[in-house]
């Protein structure tokens, strides 16, 4: 045997047990027929030899441990590269909140940079930022690892697609006005009125500015304060303006359809060669009325035109020759038609009031205002939809509301009941091009209908 005494001693008990098992098998086969007996002897011998050989060739644990050797090799690790953090920065966007200041805005943008705030406060080009902190406006900033302001983009008011760019370089801060690189998308959407116009547009993902445009377009035919019904539907095609993939503002509505109480109204925006545009029916009739039904975008009628009403302040019955619209203080008041300012100031029970004259024979009055539009004075020309003042409670008013009067030749009329004159239609020479354009836009409205029907199926 090739085993060491130690290994042999550990193997023998196993060998003896196996021998006993094999001899017992041989005894059983010997008592049987001779042929199987000798075959079994051969198989048992081979098994015995294999078992002993296996034990004879397997190295012991001690032998394996003796062959193992610990090797420690020092590896050459290159030194870490120095990291230059001077160029590290991150970009963050925030929407301006109510009551926001430039300081709080910079803080929410992650810019903890007193030098940047000082620059903005003292630089003449950057001053519009302090005057135009309109809630909802998106401001973008790039900030360094220590909170230092690297750059800032602040969209400017005025609808000219311009922004204030503030940048920091080796020579310090600089501020310039630049034109935004904008892209325009055309979107097609539809919705159903369930509770309100704004509720329907919110559910369909349509911006509020589009809802306001819809009310302006169809406001001469539909009283959005009283006429909306559950189940009314509308479809709209409008422009959406983006800056580097981020929504900036909505553009004009290109075409729209409004179904109110089963009656269908359609409008198409069309701009002529002279650059002036307007909304027309598919047949070329001017959608725009000479007067809007209401001087407020949305409100509720709190007191209508009547010959007898109990005055809440004077505590007596008297005629109410106008329409009152309840609205919060500061709500924008719009001119209902093109005109000229005939009076602006304080006048008795009207409080702060604006009176406009239109086409010589029409006048409109807007009373109980909290203030006037900047720059408004007697003789100022205004266009339909221009903001002329803000809702208040001045004069004989029991609470915030707008008192609106409509007069023809100085005789008071009910603006919610009178038939309002329409603006002029398209000129005949422009009709061929308009019909072609209108047909394509109405075809897109039909596509929206078909898509909705397919979804219902």
pLDDT in tens, 262-297: 999 999 999 866 666 889 999 988 887 778 878 886
Q: Would you state the structure tokens that stand for residue 58, as one six-digit string?
A: 């397997």
Q: Given this model, what pLDDT does residue 118 score?
A: 93
**At what angle are helices 5-30 and 34-57 packed, to 10 degrees?**
170
Query: Alpha-carbon torsion 371, 374, 378, 381, what sign?
Result: negative
Which of 225-234, 305-314, 368-377 has the highest mean predicted lDDT (pLDDT)? 368-377
Evaluate if residue 52 carries a pLDDT over 50: no
On the question of pLDDT at 203 being above 80, the answer is yes
Q: Is residue 302 scored above 50 in pLDDT?
A: no
* pLDDT, average across residues 46-55: 43
| 414 contacts: CB under 8 Å, gap ≥ 6 | 304, 305, 323, 406
| Contact between 44 and 25 (Cβ < 8 Å) | yes
What average pLDDT does range 10-23 have in this prediction? 49
Task: Find the mean pLDDT for residues 237-247.
Answer: 83
Asked whether 403 and 369 are in contact (CB, 8 A), the reply is: no
Instruction: Give pLDDT tens digits for 73-100.
Output: 555 555 544 444 445 778 888 888 888 8
Instruction: Give the residue among 251, 253, 275 at the shortest CA–CA distance from 266.
Output: 253
Judged against a pLDDT cut of 80, whether residue 313 lies above it is answered with: no
Note the Cα 236 to chain centre separation in Å: 18
pTM for this model (two decimals): 0.54
Give dist(CA 129, CA 117) in Å, integer. Answer: 11
Between 257 and 242, the higher pLDDT residue: 257
Whether residue 315 is predicted with pLDDT greater than 80 in this model: the reply is no
Tell me the CATH number of domain 88-179, given options 3.10.450.350, 2.40.50.1070, 3.40.630.30, 3.40.50.300.
3.10.450.350
Could you read off the pLDDT of 128-175 as tens digits, one per residue? 999 888 887 888 899 998 899 999 999 888 766 788 999 998 889 999
| pLDDT at 8 > cutoff 50 | no
pLDDT band for position 370 (50/70/90)? very high
Residue 195 and residue 178 in contact, taking contact as beta carbons nearer than 8 Å: no
% residues pLDDT > 90 (the chain): 31
3-state secondary structure of 84: coil
Those residues whose C-beta lies under 8 Å from the C-beta of residue 256, and which sit 6 or more positions away, are 214, 217, 218, 234, 235, 236, 237, 266, 267, 445
162 or 341, which is more confident?
341
Length of the chain: 457
Q: Which residue stretches of 277-350 are H helix?
A: none
pLDDT tier for residue 326 given thresholds of 50, 70 and 90: confident
Same topology, domains 88-179 and 300-413? Answer is no
Predicted confidence at residue 46, as pLDDT, reads 45
Report the candidate in 349, 396, 346 with the shortest Cα–Cα distance to residue 371. Answer: 346
* Domain ranges (residues) in the chain: 14-52, 88-179, 183-280, 300-413
DSSP state letter for 392: B
Residue range 440-452: mean pLDDT, rounded = 83
Query: CA dihedral in degrees (44, 46, 50, 52; nearest 10)?
Result: 60
Neighbouring-strand partners of residue 392: 401
For residue 387, the surrounding DSSP H or E stretch is strand 387-391
Q: Which CATH architecture has domain 183-280?
A: Roll (3.10)
Q: 3.40.50.2300, 2.40.30.20, 2.70.70.10, 3.30.499.10: which CATH number matches 300-413? A: 2.70.70.10
- Cα–Cα distance, 406 to 366 (Å, whole number): 9
Asked whether the predicted pLDDT for residue 197 surpasses 80, the reply is: yes
Tell the residue number behind the tokens 């998308």, with chain if given.
185
Mean predicted lDDT score pLDDT of the chain: 77
Whether the pLDDT of residue 67 is over 60: the answer is no
Q: Which of 36-45, 225-234, 341-350 has the lowest mean pLDDT?
A: 36-45
């Amino acid at each position: 045997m090739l085993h060491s005494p130690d290994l042999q001693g550990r193997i023998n008990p196993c060998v003896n047990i196996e021998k006993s098992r094999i001899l017992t098998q041989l005894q059983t086969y010997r008592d049987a027929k001779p042929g199987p007996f000798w075959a079994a002897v051969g198989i048992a011998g081979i098994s015995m030899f294999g078992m002993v050989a296996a034990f004879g060739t397997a190295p012991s644990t001690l032998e394996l441990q003796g062959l193992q050797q610990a090797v420690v090799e020092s590896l050459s690790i290159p030194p870490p590269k120095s990291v230059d953090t001077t160029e590290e920065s991150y970009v963050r966007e925030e929407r301006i909140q109510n009551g926001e200041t430039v300081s709080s805005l910079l803080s929410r943008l992650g810019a903890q940079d007193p030098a940047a705030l000082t620059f903005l406060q003292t630089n003449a080009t950057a001053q519009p930022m302090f005057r135009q902190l309109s809630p909802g406006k998106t401001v973008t900033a790039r900030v360094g690892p220590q909170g230092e302001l690297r750059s800032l983009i602040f969209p400017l008011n005025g609808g000219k697609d311009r922004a204030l760019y503030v940048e920091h370089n080796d020579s310090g801060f600089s501020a310039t006005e630049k034109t935004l690189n904008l892209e325009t998308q055309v979107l097609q959407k539809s919705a159903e009125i369930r509770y309100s116009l704004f509720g329907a547009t919110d559910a369909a993902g349509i911006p509020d500015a589009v809802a306001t445009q819809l009310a302006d377009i169809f406001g001469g035919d539909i009283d959005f304060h009283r006429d909306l019904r559950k189940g009314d539907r509308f479809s709209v095609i409008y422009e959406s303006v983006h800056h580097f993939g981020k929504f900036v503002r909505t553009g004009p509505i290109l075409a729209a359809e409004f179904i109110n109480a089963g009656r269908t109204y359609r409008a198409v925006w069309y701009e002529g060669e002279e650059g002036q545009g307007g909304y027309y029916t598919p047949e070329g009739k001017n959608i725009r009325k000479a007067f809007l039904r209401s001087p407020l975008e949305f409100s509720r009628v709190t007191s209508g035109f009547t010959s007898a009403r109990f005055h809440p302040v004077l505590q007596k019955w008297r005629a109410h020759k106008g329409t009152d619209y309840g609205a919060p203080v500061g709500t924008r008041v719009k001119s209902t038609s093109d005109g000229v300012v005939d009076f602006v100031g304080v006048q008795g029970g009207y409080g702060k009031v604006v009176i406009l004259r239109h086409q010589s024979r029409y006048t409109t009055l807007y009373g109980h205002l909290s203030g006037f539009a900047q720059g408004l004075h007697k003789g100022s020309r205004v266009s339909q939809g221009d903001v002329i003042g803000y809702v208040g409670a001045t004069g004989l008013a029991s609470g915030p509301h707008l008192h609106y009067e409509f007069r023809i030749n100085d005789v008071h009329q009910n603006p919610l009941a009178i038939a309002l004159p329409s603006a002029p239609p398209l000129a005949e020479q422009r009709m061929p091009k308009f019909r072609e354009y209108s047909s394509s836009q109405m075809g897109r409205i039909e596509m929206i209908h078909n898509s909705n029907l397919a979804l219902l199926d």
